[in-house]
């Protein structure tokens, strides 16, 4: 089969590799119908995650059709269309029983991390993929759901919702600011509406992305390139600051921005994947009584979000801006890595 293989920092190759095989009775093999690229894939390529070994097939999102099942599989059948969760979880260990799938104690070689696709084991940017713990990590797709809708449920929608909205403790009437209007930031904008905030402020340097954020549910936008960006936000909050600041970029500057605009007693929810340490100004923040949260998505809300997408309660059709064939994988990476040049948000690779 063909797959995108990590060759070391800043090097990748679309090449022939052996087909995956069943290794455990809880495995299934899935023929990938569609996959996509995540900002985390770009972090791996930059060398931000040195534990990823050369030779690893990248990718942790996708939908496909089951072609083989392990001996312990009873709830999935050959021919089923499935959404693959970016987190693989056994469903039995102490952490899984608490809903903390992101820290499943069982996945192979992961040292208690549930995200293993494209990280510790071969991922989804391939023609076929082996799915461990399939009955707890693959979700049947409704017949009418499109590949484009399904692929967004693998990672970005649950991540924006769980790590941004839920960890940020958004409540009815809150003023929410989301820093970064990329795919995950816009997922937070979209799903924050489920809790009834009074305002959702999208913050970004890219005017095109800010314009798009309004379609996803933002009520106001602020360009952080403006010299008075902070004054604009304070003017929208009567000078108090926002109730919840969600950081969805992964840079020291944007994390600091989140801590600067949150009101006393508010919450900062960090979604962004940081490639370097961030300075925390505890000498200034301790007196503000704020909560700071962060984490790896559990995908324990995937089933609920699937129902909302299936009933068209979330406008996910706006996420996909570019489509490619599998043989255009390298072109898709170029477009996604240079999103501002191509006005790209999420790419679909069929």
Question: How crowded is the C-beta side of 85, counted as CA atoms within 13 Å?
Answer: 29
What is the pTM (predicted TM-score) of this model? 0.95
Give me the domains of the chain, ranges plus CATH numbers. Answer: 2-155+298-349 (3.90.180.10), 160-294 (3.40.50.720)
C-alpha distance across the termini of the chain, in Å: 15
What is d(CA 181, CA 208) in angstroms, rounded to the nearest whole number? 10
Q: Dump pLDDT digits (tens) for 173-207.
A: 999 999 999 999 999 999 999 999 999 999 999 99
Q: Tell me, what's the pLDDT at 106?
A: 83
CB 132 within 8 A of CB 116: yes
Confidence at residue 10, expressed as pLDDT on a 0 to 100 scale: 95
pLDDT at site 216: 96
User: What does the pLDDT average to over 247-256?
Assistant: 96
What pLDDT shows up at residue 108? Answer: 66
Residue 168 is predicted with a pLDDT of 98
Provide mean pLDDT across the span 152-163: 98
96 pLDDT above the threshold of 60: yes
Share of the chain above pLDDT 70, in %: 99
For residue 237, give both structure tokens: 């909050």
Q: Does the pLDDT at position 110 exceed 70?
A: no
Give the closest residue to 349 by CA, choosing from 30, 29, 35.
Answer: 35
């Amino acid at each position: 089969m063909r797959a995108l293989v990590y060759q070391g920092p800043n090097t990748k190759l679309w090449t022939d590799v052996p087909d995956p095989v069943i290794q455990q009775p809880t495995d299934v093999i899935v023929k990938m119908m569609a996959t996509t690229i995540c900002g985390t894939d770009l972090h791996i390529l930059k060398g931000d995650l040195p534990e990823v070994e050369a030779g690893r097939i990248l990718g942790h999102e996708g939908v496909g059709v089951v072609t083989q099942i392990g001996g312990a599989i009873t709830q999935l059948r050959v021919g089923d269309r499935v959404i693959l969760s970016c987190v693989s979880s056994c469903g039995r260990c102490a952490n899984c029983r608490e809903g903390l799938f992101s820290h499943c104690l069982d996945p192979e070689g992961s040292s208690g991390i549930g995200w293993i696709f494209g990280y510790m084991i071969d991922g989804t940017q391939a023609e076929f993929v082996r799915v461990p713990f399939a009955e707890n990590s693959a979700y049947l797709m409704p017949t009418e759901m499109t590949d484009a809708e399904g692929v967004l449920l693998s990672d970005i929608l649950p991540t924006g919702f769980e790590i941004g909205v839920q960890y940020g403790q958004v409540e009815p009437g809150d003023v929410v600011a989301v820093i970064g209007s990329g795919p995950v930031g816009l997922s937070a904008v979209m799903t924050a509406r489920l809790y009834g905030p009074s305002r959702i402020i999208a913050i970004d340097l890219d005017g095109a992305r800010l314009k798009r954020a309004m379609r996803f549910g933002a009520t106001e936008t602020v360009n952080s390139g403006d010299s008075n960006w902070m004054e604009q936000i304070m003017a929208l909050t009567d000078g108090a600051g926002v109730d919840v600041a969600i950081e969805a970029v992964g840079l020291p500057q944007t994390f600091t921005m989140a801590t600067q605009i949150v009101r006393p007693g508010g919450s900062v929810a960090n979604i962004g994947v940081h490639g370097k340490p961030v300075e925390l100004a505890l000498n200034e923040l301790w007196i503000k009584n704020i909560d700071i949260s962060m984490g790896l998505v559990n995908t324990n809300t995937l089933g609920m979000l699937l129902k909302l997408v299936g009933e068209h309660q979330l406008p996910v059709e706006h996420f996909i801006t570019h489509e490619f064939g599998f043989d255009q994988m390298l072109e898709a990476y170029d477009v996604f890595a240079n999103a501002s040049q191509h006005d790209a948000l999420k790419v679909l690779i069929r």
